[in-house]
Amino acid sequence: MYSSLKCHCQREFTLWILCFDDQTYGVLAKMGLPQMRLISLAQFEKGDEQLLAAKRSRSLVEYYWTCTPSLPLYLLKHFQDIESITYIDADVYFYSDPAPLFDELGEGSVLIMEHRYAPKYEAWTQVSGIFNVEYLTFRRDKYALECLNWWRDRCNEWCYARHEAGKYGDQKYLDDWPQRFKGIVVSRHPGAGLAPWNAEQFRFTSRNGHPYIADDPVIFHHFHGLKLIGSMAALSNPTYCYPVSLLKNLYFAYFCALHGAETSCRREGAIIQGSPAIPLAKLLHGLVCEGWLLTRYPLIACVFWKWAQKRRSDMELLDAGYRAFEIGERRQARCLLMRALCRNPRFVVKPGVLAILVKSFSALAACFIFCGLL
């Protein structure tokens, strides 16, 4: 994230990093990167009794979330020269200058990002909220400070990795900000707030090596749920369906940056978890069945990804046929299973497929004719 911001941001900035462990602080301190300032956990927590009291009832991830509003407040309190502060998740990567987002804020006090869920994920709004805590800008004014202090108090009171009474982590609290506080600006830039839950709605292209959505440059993508596996693959969330244009224009640039950052950190003595190599059989199984992505070979990765997408689509069709039969929709079940067989004849050996199809003579005859032609 740091390298992408330094590459594309045209204005002067300071990236403040809250280090939750001593190794992170030590490695980054050795690297001595320009425009980066570090905050140790002990320094951040010193004298904050409310935060320390909340820490005792939270898991590690829940404590990360609890700290989110406290970090910009900490900086605004201790560094009076800061006119505005932007919170950015660590798994965000920039592809162009974020200047349009500061322009969007204008005279407002707080800039927030909508999830903009793809239609198939729209129901997630009830759990994860309307807005995402991935990129939030707060101006030093009374409206932003009122918002931040209210958010911090709520997170100190309750911030857990579960959905309860209309709350979820630090994020559901943002749902009513546009109504609760003055000066809230919701970003409308198509190239900001991109993430797995909304990116499949868009077609990505490249102009002079930079990704675009139609005529708008991509500003940043949030690589939620991505984990490196060894030195050759990454695990994406199989729930999501990424278009190949997204992989080609965004993901592989991020993979290169991740491997480069990992090499730099290892050089400074960082201990990074993960095996250096994956057995070929396990790699192939992961690529075809588990939604893994090759990180070093874009063309081969795209071929495997399309193959895996087709396999997932076939299995979804088969599962839909089974579900339809279970609820008594036999005609729909037969139609779905016939479509699945036409796309993948090997499903004829799946348990229950022929048993469902024999309920209709025409469907059974069609099945035998189809299999006889193979």
Which DSSP string corresponds to 203-232?
A: -EEEETTEEEETTEE--EEE-TT-EEETTT
What are the pLDDT tens digits along the chain (374 aa)? 999 999 999 999 999 999 999 999 999 999 999 999 999 999 999 999 999 999 999 999 999 999 999 999 999 999 999 999 999 999 999 999 999 999 999 999 999 999 999 998 999 999 999 999 999 999 999 999 999 999 999 999 999 999 999 999 999 999 999 999 999 999 999 999 999 999 989 999 999 889 999 999 999 999 998 888 877 888 777 678 788 899 999 999 999 999 889 888 888 887 776 556 788 888 888 887 777 888 988 888 888 888 887 877 888 888 888 888 888 888 888 888 888 888 878 777 777 787 777 765 455 555 555 555 44
- Contacts with 368 (C-beta within 8 Å, 6 or more apart), sequence order: none
- Contacts with 317 (C-beta within 8 Å, 6 or more apart), sequence order: 336, 339, 340, 343
CA distance 70 to 223: 23
CA distance 68 to 148: 10
